[in-house]
Amino acid sequence: MNILVTGGAGFIGSHIVDRLVATGHTVAIVDNLVTGRRDLAHPQAALHVVDIRDPQLDAVFAAVGPEVVVHAAAQVSVSHSVSDPLGDASVNVLGTISLLEQCRRAGVRRVVYISTGGAAYGDTDVIPTPETHPARAVSPYGISKVTAERYIDLWRELWGGEGVVLRLANVYGPRQNAEGEAGVVAIFTERALRGQPCIVNGDGEQTRDFVFVTDVADAVVRAIDSPDGHGTFNISTGRETSVNEIVRGLRGAMAAEFTVQYGPARPGEQRRSALDPREAARRLGWKALVPLADGLRQTVDYTAGRTPSL
């Protein structure tokens, strides 16, 4: 089918496009290339360099005629959302509304929305955290993503479309930008390979749920193909991994030591985070398959300029 992927030249979006093309779909990309990169866009996918808030998006929908839209474009920096909450909401809320209006006019059947897990739930009472837990976002970014989720629900309720929300855990893997997207795996990998010290905030025992990017792409394919056209799903491993474990895993992947320095803890940082993936397993038939050690090795190989062992 014809599928449009917003943010398809970015870290997560480009992996989604790769998987969709390999699955046999006709794919078009919308990306303003602010954080996306032209070289990450799949050569068999038509790239439209346009912002999701731009009226020119109407012409893209007319040319592509998408049956399904995967919405991965977003402002993803928590720190930027704090310093510029209006800009964050403009992209993540108003941009989503603009996109949904195009979907309504074009008769798009299903929207798969790439949302956030940890930033949506905030500090939780239950770990791993299920989708039924209240969303307690404590950053403008988290609030804007949860708000966009509600607009997806309203689009489905008002206009009869199908809306699937995927709340991602901490995604890592090849192509992640160590500067803009600030994933700890990407930052530590790049710094270690450059011979620079890796800075751990606090004691390093804070935990996150690390899911490999190709597993996320597989979840999107399953969300598109599923006969169940609605719902919110955690895309995660369900396992807590500490920052110190990431350091040990990267040392193993590099077969080398690197310098680690411990600094002050970040005020307000979550101590523990993991998401319960059982609903995605039950309704989408999805499960994270890439072990952490394999994912770290692939990330190191890519960042070092070698061919990843897939």
Q: Residues 119, 266: one domain?
A: no
pLDDT tens-digit map of 131-185: 999 999 989 999 999 999 999 999 999 999 999 999 999 999 999 988 754 589 9
Q: Residues 56, 25: one domain?
A: yes
Residue 197 CA to residue 229 CA, distance in Å, equals: 46
Provide the pLDDT for residue 87. Answer: 97
| Residue 191 pLDDT > 80 | yes
The answer to whether residue 310 sits within a structural domain is no
| Residue 307 pLDDT > 70 | no
pLDDT average, residue stretch 259-288: 92
Q: Is the peptide bond before 277 cis (omega within 30 degrees of 0)?
A: no
pLDDT average, residue stretch 14-21: 98
Q: Residues 64, 21: one domain?
A: yes
How many domains in the chain?
2
Percent of the chain with pLDDT over 90: 88
Provide the pLDDT for residue 292. Answer: 98
Q: Residues 69, 138: one domain?
A: yes
Provide the pLDDT for residue 180. Answer: 52
Residue listed under structure tokens 């592509």: 64
pLDDT average, residue stretch 38-55: 97
Q: Residues 190, 263: one domain?
A: yes
The answer to whether residue 308 sits within a structural domain is no
| Residue 195 pLDDT > 50 | yes
Residues catalogued as catalytic: 141
Q: Which two tokens stand for residue 29?
A: 């990309």
Please report which confidence band the pLDDT of residue 267 belongs to, taking 50, 70 and 90 as the band edges: confident
pLDDT average, residue stretch 15-44: 97
The answer to whether residue 77 sits within a structural domain is yes
Give the structural domain span for 254. Answer: 184-207+240-273+297-303
Which range, of 80-84, 178-182, 192-196, averages the lowest pLDDT?
178-182
Taking the whole predicted model, whether its pTM rises above 0.75 is answered as yes
Q: Residues 32, 84: one domain?
A: yes
pLDDT tens-digit map of 197-227: 999 999 999 999 999 999 999 999 999 999 9
Q: Residues 153, 268: one domain?
A: no
The answer to whether residue 125 sits within a structural domain is yes
Whichever domain contains 203, its CATH number is: 3.90.25.10
Does residue 135 contact residue 122 with C-beta atoms inside 8 Å? yes
Three-state SS string over the chain comes to CEEEEECCCCHHHHHHHHHHHHHCCEEEEECCCCCCCHHHCCCCCEEECCCCCCCCHHHHHHHHCCCEEEECCCCCCHHHHHHCHHHHHHHHHHHHHHHHHHHHHHCCCEEEEEEECHHHHCCCCCCCECCCCCCCCCCHHHHHHHHHHHHHHHHHHHHCCEEEEEEECEEECCCCCCCCCCCHHHHHHHHHHCCCCEEEECCCCCEECEEEHHHHHHHHHHHHHCCCCEEEEEECCCCCEEHHHHHHHHHHHHCCCCCEEEECCCCCCCCCCCECCHHHHHHHCCCCCCCHHHHHHHHHHHHCCCCCCC
The answer to whether residue 177 sits within a structural domain is no
Provide the pLDDT for residue 125. Answer: 85
The answer to whether residue 28 sits within a structural domain is yes
Residue 118 CA to residue 121 CA, distance in Å, equals: 5
Task: Tell me what the pLDDT averaged over the chain comes to.
Answer: 94
Provide the pLDDT for residue 266. Answer: 80
Residue 81 CA to residue 88 CA, distance in Å, equals: 5
Q: Residues 193, 151: one domain?
A: no
Phi, psi (rounded to 5 degrees) for 164:
-120, 125
The answer to whether residue 217 sits within a structural domain is yes
Whole-angstrom CA distances from 52 to 66, 68, 200 are 15, 16, 36
Q: Residues 64, 125: one domain?
A: yes
Q: Residues 108, 94: one domain?
A: yes
Residue 79 CA to residue 286 CA, distance in Å, equals: 31
The answer to whether residue 264 sits within a structural domain is yes
pLDDT tens-digit map of 231-263: 999 999 999 999 999 999 999 999 999 999 999
Provide the pLDDT for residue 309. Answer: 46
Q: For residue 114, what are the β-bridge partners?
A: 166
Whichever domain contains 50, its CATH number is: 3.40.50.720
Residue 34 CA to residue 139 CA, distance in Å, equals: 22
Provide the pLDDT for residue 215. Answer: 98
Percent of the chain with pLDDT over 70: 97
Q: Residues 88, 188: one domain?
A: no
Q: Residues 34, 58: one domain?
A: yes
pLDDT tens-digit map of 91-114: 999 999 999 999 999 999 999 999
